[in-house]
Structure 1
Amino acid sequence: MNLSICIITKNEKEKLIRAMQDLLSMEVEIVVVDTGSQDSTVQALSELKKQPHKARLKIAEFEWIDDFAAARNEAIKQATGKWIFMLDSDEYLMKPCDEKILEMLLRKHPGQVGRVLRRNLIPAKPAAREWISRVFEKAYYHYEGAIHEQLVPNDPQMQVVLFETNIYLEHDGYYGSDEERRKKATRNEALLLKELNERGDDPYLLYQLGKSYYMDGEMEKAAEQFDKALGFDVDEKLEYVQDLVETYGYALMNSGQTQKALGLEGVVDYFGHLADFCFMMGLIEMQNARFDEAILFFQKAAQVPQGKVEGVNSYLAYYNQGVIYECTGNKEKAIEMYRKCGNYPKAVTQLANLTKND
C-alpha cells in the first residue's frame, strides 16, 4: 500500500514503541521524526529497525524550533508514499486496520482528507470521541501553525472534502504525572501566546489557549479566552466551535459562574441537536435549580444517537434525571431513571439505597 505513517516525537520512547507495535505489521512506510529526544528514543528506534517487519521504518532527526507544523512538514518531506497518515506518539490503533479496505477508501477519494475516529482517555472522566483529519495525499497538503497546527491545501482555491476511514485510535496524552502535564501546558500556552502576539487575536488560537488553561485547571482564565473567541463571527458548523461552546459552559460552571452560563440558552438553536451540548445545558440548569428545564435537556440528550463524551446520551443523562427526581421527592421516577443506567456504579448505589426497604 502506497501509504506513509508519519510520527513526530520527543522524549516519549515508551509510548512510541507501544504505538509502533501494531503499525510494524502493516505493509507501509513508517517515518519517525525525532525533534531532540534525550531519552534514547533514537537508539530504541534504531534497534527496532534491525528487526524483521512488514513495515519499512525510516528515522530522521529535526531540530526543534518551537513549531509543530514545521516538524510535521519535515515528516511529510521525508515520506515517499503517495498518501500520508499523520499519527502522534501517544496514539494507538484501537484495533488492527484492514489494509485492503483502507486502500480501497484511499483510491475512492483522491485529493480528499480522511478522518480517523479517536477516543481520548481523560483522567477521572468519561472517555471522549472525536473525528480528526489525519489522512491525505502528500502532493496536495501541508501544515500551518506553530501549535495545534492545522492541515491546509497547498492551493488556497482548493476545496477540502472529507471522508471517514476505517482507522480507530486511542489517545492517552492527557495522562502522566502532574509535573509532566504542567510542563506540557506551560509549553503550549507559551507557543499560543507567542502566535497570538504575532498574528493578533484569532478565534481558533483563543479557543486552543482556553483549552490549555482548562486542561490545566485554570477555569477562570479558560472562560476568559473562550469568551473572547465567541466575540468573533464564528461558524457554528465547525467542530472546534461546537467544542468551544461546550467547554466554555463547563469552564463557567467550574469557576462558579453558573448564572452567567445560563446565557448559553441563547445558542440552543445552533447547538441543540448535539447530545454533548444538551447534556451540558442540563447540568447548567440543574446547578441553577431550574429542574424542569434540566430534565428537558437531559431527555433531549438521551434521544441523540451519538455523543462525543461516553454516556452523555445514555446513562449519564438518565442518572442526572434520577438525581433530580430523588431530590424533589419523586422516588418512583428516580428508580425508573437509575434502572435505565445499567451498571453505572453511582446509579447502582442510589438504586440500592432507594429500594433497600422495599
Structure 2
Amino acid sequence: MVSVSLCMIVKNEEDVLERCLESAAELVDEIIIVDTGSTDRTKEIAARFTDQIYDFPWRDDFAAARNESFSHASMDYCMWLDADDVLLEEDQTSFLALKENLDPSVSVVMAPYHTGFDENGRVTFSYYRERLIKNRGGMSWVGAIHEAITPVGTVLYGDFAVTHRKTRPSDPDRNLRIYQAQLDAGKELEPRQQFYYGRELYYHHSWEEALAVLERFLEEGRGWVENNIDACCHCAYCHKELGHDQAALEALFRTFAYDRPRAEVCCDIGLWFFQREQYRQAAYWYALALTCTRDDRRGGFVSPDCYGYLPCIQLCVCYSRLGDQKRAETFNELAAACKPDSSAVLHNRTVFQSLPEGFN
C-alpha cells in the first residue's frame, strides 16, 4: 500500500477545518498544514490532528503556498484539499481501495471535484483535478491563482470524489485584485491565467474588458481545447449582456471549431432560440444535447444536468408550445427519470392531467 501526505494551505478556517480533517484523517499517513496568517482558531483546530503546522507569509501566490506544503511531505504521494472540502463516506471507501491497490509507477491520480449542487444535494457542476501527486516526482504547482500541476508520467483516473462545501462566501475581489497587481507590475499572463483573468472580469460585470481579454486569448491560439471552448461560451455571455444577440450565437457556434459539440453548448444554443420563441430550432439543439456523450475525463467543466434533465425538461416546454402535448409529456417523464422530485416535472404533470381527454 502506498503512503499519502495530506498537504493543506489554510487561513482563518475555524468554521470548516475540523469537518475537513475529520473526513480525511483516517485515510492519510501524515497531515501537513501550512498557515498563511490565521487570526482565529485555525491552528488550534489543526493541532488536534497534526503537529506538522508551518507558518508561511502570504504573498498573493497560491502555487507558492501549495509548493511550500508539498515541501514538508515525506510520504509516497501528496494529496491536497482546501479547508472547505470533504470526503463523503462513499468516497472515503473508494479512496482507501485505490490507496491499497495503487501501482507506485503512477505519477498522478486525477479525481472528480464536485463544486455545484442543486437544492437536493445532487451534483450540478464538476471537473477532474489532479488530486494525488507523486512526491518528489518533478512536478510543482504553477499559477498565482487557479494554480495547477501539469502531470508527467502515468496518469490514473480515480473514482473517489472530493466535495466542495462552502459555508460562507470568500472574498469576491481577491482573484481579480491579484491579476491586476500582476499586470500593473508588468507581468505577462500565460494562456491559462489569461483565460481565468477573462472569466474574473466577466464575474465582475466588466463585459467589454472580459470580451477583449478572452478574444485575445482565443486569437493567440495557445490555449487548451477545454479552455478554448469555455472562453467561447463566456464571450457569448458577454455579448448577451452587451445586447449583441447575433454575436452571442456566433460565439457559441465557434466552439465547434475546437471539438465535437458539448451538451452544455447545445443547451446554451437551445436557450438562445427558446428565448426568441423559435421552439422548433430550440428543440433541435436540446435534442442534440441528448446525443452528446458525457466524458468527464476530458478535464473540462461538466454540468451533468445538460446530459439529461435540462434538455428533456426544455423539450417538454418546446413541444407543449408547439401544440404537441403528447410528445411534451413524454419528455417530461424522461426528465422525471433524471430528477423525480423536480418541481418543474411535478408542475408539468399537474398541467397535463388537467388537459381535456384527447387534447393534443
Note whether the superposition's TM-score is higher than 0.5: yes
Q: After superposing the two structures, state which structure 1 stretch, 228-237 or 83-92, moved more.
A: 228-237
User: Which whole-Å CA distance do the structure 1 matches of 2:244 and 2:8 have between them?
Assistant: 40
Contact 2:273–2:279 (8 Å) recurs in 1: yes
The reply on whether 1:274 has 2:262 as its aligned counterpart is yes
Contact 1:285–1:293 (8 Å) recurs in 2: yes
Which position in structure 2 is the counterpart of 1:262? 249
Structure 1 residue aligned with 2:159, among 162, 166, 169? 166
Which position in structure 2 is the counterpart of 1:131? 128
Which position in structure 1 is the counterpart of 2:298? none
Q: After superposing the two structures, state which structure 1 stretch, 164-173 or 123-132, moved more.
A: 123-132
Structure 2 residue aligned with 1:336, among 316, 330, 333? 330
User: Which whole-Å CA distance do the structure 2 matches of 1:102 and 1:241 have between them?
Assistant: 34
Which position in structure 1 is the counterpart of 2:173? 186
User: Which whole-Å CA distance do the structure 1 matches of 2:8 and 2:30 have between them?
Assistant: 11
Which position in structure 2 is the counterpart of 1:203? 191
Contact 2:105–2:154 (8 Å) recurs in 1: no
Deviation, structure 1 residue 116: 1.1
Structure 1 stretches lacking a partner, 5+ long: 50-55, 154-158
Distance change in 2, residues 1:193/1:16 (3 Å): same
Which position in structure 2 is the counterpart of 1:146? 144
Q: After superposing the two structures, state which structure 1 stretch, 159-168 or 64-73, moved more.
A: 159-168
Q: Give the total of aligned pairs.
A: 337
Distance change in 2, residues 1:30/1:126 (3 Å): closer
Distance change in 2, residues 1:78/1:126 (3 Å): closer
Distance change in 2, residues 1:223/1:8 (3 Å): same
Matched to 1:209, the amino acid is Y
Deviation, structure 1 residue 341: 1.0
The reply on whether 1:96 has 2:92 as its aligned counterpart is yes
Contact 1:122–1:172 (8 Å) recurs in 2: no
Contact 2:115–2:123 (8 Å) recurs in 1: no
Cα deviation per residue 1:159-198 (whole Å; 9 max; x = unaligned)?
Answer: 555321233111134x62xxx44xx221110112233443
Aligned to 1:147, what secondary structure does the other structure show? coil
Deviation, structure 1 residue 271: 3.6
Q: After superposing the two structures, state which structure 1 stretch, 134-143 or 261-270, moved more.
A: 261-270
Contact 1:258–1:288 (8 Å) recurs in 2: no
Which position in structure 2 is the counterpart of 1:38? 39
Distance change in 2, residues 1:20/1:255 (3 Å): farther
Deviation, structure 1 residue 93: 0.9
Structure 2 stretches lacking a partner, 5+ long: 296-301
Deviation, structure 1 residue 335: 1.8
- TM-score, normalised via structure 1 length: 0.84
Contact 1:10–1:37 (8 Å) recurs in 2: yes
Matched to 1:2, the amino acid is S
The list of structure 1 runs, each at least 4 consecutive aligned residues, that deviate by more than 6 angstroms after superposition, is: 123-126
Distance change in 2, residues 1:345/1:150 (3 Å): same
1:1-358 to structure 2, matched below 5 A, reads: 1-46=2-47, 48-49=48-49, 58-94=52-88, 95-97=91-93, 98-109=95-106, 112-121=107-116, 127-139=124-136, 140-152=138-150, 159=152, 161-173=154-166, 176=168, 180-181=169-170, 184-197=171-184, 198-216=186-204, 221-235=209-223, 237=225, 239-254=226-241, 256-263=243-250, 264-306=252-294, 308-342=302-336, 343=340, 344-358=342-356
- TM-score, normalised via structure 2 length: 0.83
